[in-house]
Structure 1
Amino acid sequence: MARAAVQLIMAPRVALSLLRSAIAFGLVGCTVGAPAAGTSAPDPTSEPSGPGTADGDEPATPPAATEPEGVKEKARWTFFVYANGDNGRSRELAADLEHMNEAMLQADVEVIVFADWNAALTDREGRPFPSGSEWISLAGHGAKPRVRSASESEQDLEDPAVLRSAVARAFGQHPADHRGVIVWSRGEGGDAQDGTRPGAAAMSTPAMIAAIRDGLADIGLTGERTLDVLGFDSYAPARIEIAYATRELAGVYVANPAGSNGTTWAYADALGFLANTSDATGATFAAFEAEAARKIGGPPHVAVHTEKLERLADATSSLVRAIAAHPEVMPRVVSAMMAAAEAPFGSGPPSYQRFVSELANDPSLDVVTATAQEVAIHLSEALVYAPGGAELGITLPLTEASPAWLAEYAETAREWLAATGWDALLASYASSEP
């Protein structure tokens, strides 16, 4: 077995004890995404006060002149791309915007981008990227994008308040029957503020989800799954804990598979599919995009029906209880963890499918086997698209997990842990014989 896989499982017992303590005492609970005290939610239809883009500050695809923007007629689809390129990835972002703009869009499909650049970097033609942020409307067909507004002021796109305001503005000014959000953030950290703030922290996933939800609520979009699609174009792999946290926000969750070291979205093909498929849904979009990405050599994205995750969580809870009731199976559970850690690409989180499959296909485990088979059924039903090699990750014990890492995980996975008792399974491992 690969050394990395073994190290992944052999975690210090004290680390898992810290995790359980953090969860039990609520040390990681927080409220995110709300406006600062004494302020009100942003007006999503208001116009920015900043000046237009300065001469010479164009990204790789030069946009047309800045033009005013009001509330548009209701579209069939609005896709909002929240793009933080102010972390050393401005050229990648510019290239992806070009790919998006190659889509054969129709008038009833809006693609709106809020982009932040690193002005300390230059585009492929040697021109500096803009200072500050831009709102860009993509026309498709390779036509020149239009900068709806630009800001000389620098914003922090890893601030939940900025995300909340941007979501409200995007869908407030571009209403649609169907809505999608793609969070584009390929950097390792946060917003570098034009290269002046190295080592900035990225927004936590719970904060991100809360900010998107609150931004939609600010314009009256409340209730369950007000987004059809929530996708992540980042190096962070898909995890069941994150997918579960989005279950009341979006109908479909899309992210990289566990074990993938790269990210490539088939933007032109996928957005063109929306424009040319009148009955497109979040699920059909996600399946089409994932297959198109696979065909161009990218990772086969994992897409999840979030409405089916409650049953999966219930089945997982039953599995955790079954294992707890039969401690004699714990050595086999540990070996299943090790097998799950051998991700198909050699890195990333362990595969939830593989962990469950190891237990479901072992008849010697009796009731645990039967319960794992139920989990496998619900997991299969929840996956919109997951071809061979596309794995949905889950967190298993990690070597030398620091208290800070454990606190972050407990916050990120809070809802999944509460629904499934997954932390109890980790504790069972922690108390088992090494």
Structure 2
Amino acid sequence: MEAEICGCDELKSSMSRRRLLGRTLAVGAGAALTGLVSEGLSTQLAFAAEAYAGDTLVVLSLRGGFDGLSAIAPIGDPDYYKARPGIALPKSQVIAGDGTFGLHPALAPLLPMWSGGNLAAVHAVGQPNPTRSHFAAMEEMERAAAGTSVRSGWLDRMLGMTGSKAPLAGVAMGDAMPARIFSGPSADVSMASVDKFMLAGESAKRPIAAALRKMYADAPPLLAAPALAADAALTANTPLKAVAYTPANGAVYPATELGAALKDVARLIKSNVGLAAAAVDSGDWDMHEGLGTAVKGQRMYDNLYEVSLALAAFAADMGPDGMKNVTLVTISEFGRRVAENGSRGVDHGHGNAMLLMGGGVRGGKVYAAWPTLAPGALADGDLAATTDYRAVIGEILQKRCGFGALDEVFPSIAPSDFGLAAAR
């Protein structure tokens, strides 16, 4: 089977334009107010509680369609090897194997977290009403309200439920373009980095922030709120920029966009600015060809290794005590098909795997209602999704973030009952 034609070149072009525009707007706090874009401002901003006492939730989006069957290989399922004769992960190469699943060797930097019980995986997860369109799947993944008319992003709804007033409570880090996952009434920001977050054109000779503050001082609250939120975010960020940041515990972040973004997330958390939710992106997972075998220099190996280095550095930087109050989850718009194609890659699929990392995670294992990869168990050639990804996050929201009912964040979704996290 040859690689499918799916419009992925358009995806690459779109994401490149997004990055280019992001760099252009990286110093524009107005563009960085993600929660205020096309949604208006909710009164929850003015009447929210003072503090949020749950875990900081860090959401790492693996853009392009992550191949969970490569990262968390079902080595105990014989149909895995039948479907992928050229790219399946050999049993002899997995790490942390339990006879049913095994981790890709490129995840070795995370092995201490896995062995220490602070890293876990959930397999056969997916979205309802699956689609193989990157754009439709990303939109639904970030809206997370299938079958409803809700248009906001689920992290924005989560942020609203925390009741936090902190101006840096919600941050999309590493790209100054507003993130759809944060779209909605809560006041969130996107920033290219902590050190580059400022108003475009701001200088000693051009005090734009001061002029903005004066301009809106007597404006009606509804009109003034976006500008005042921008000013509050800039003010909260200023002390951080004044002091050079050195990662703790000998942590060394890789010189990648993801490494830089996670370093800044750690910086915000440890600075006690009230960060409740952060969104970070990692791209280049759309591997229709040349996914490669499990050795250095191959595409999947190298991508997984870069992500593993960044996550391991983040965990080391935070330290055991810091990670007690942090949960990181990975999501992706869809998985890949079970069978490899004629280009030694895998096309758009459905069921996938998620990683969960944090002090409250009951790790060292793969959680799954495994449907098997037998031909009769597949969903149109794909791994069937037996667990809604929102249910996994829902269990985290209840046990680690102090939420009760989930309807305000994920309408009509009950949390998973895997027991994958300890209650705070």
Larger helix fraction of residues: 1
Pick the structure with greater CA Rg. Answer: 1
TM-score in terms of structure 2 length: 0.33
TM-score in terms of structure 1 length: 0.32
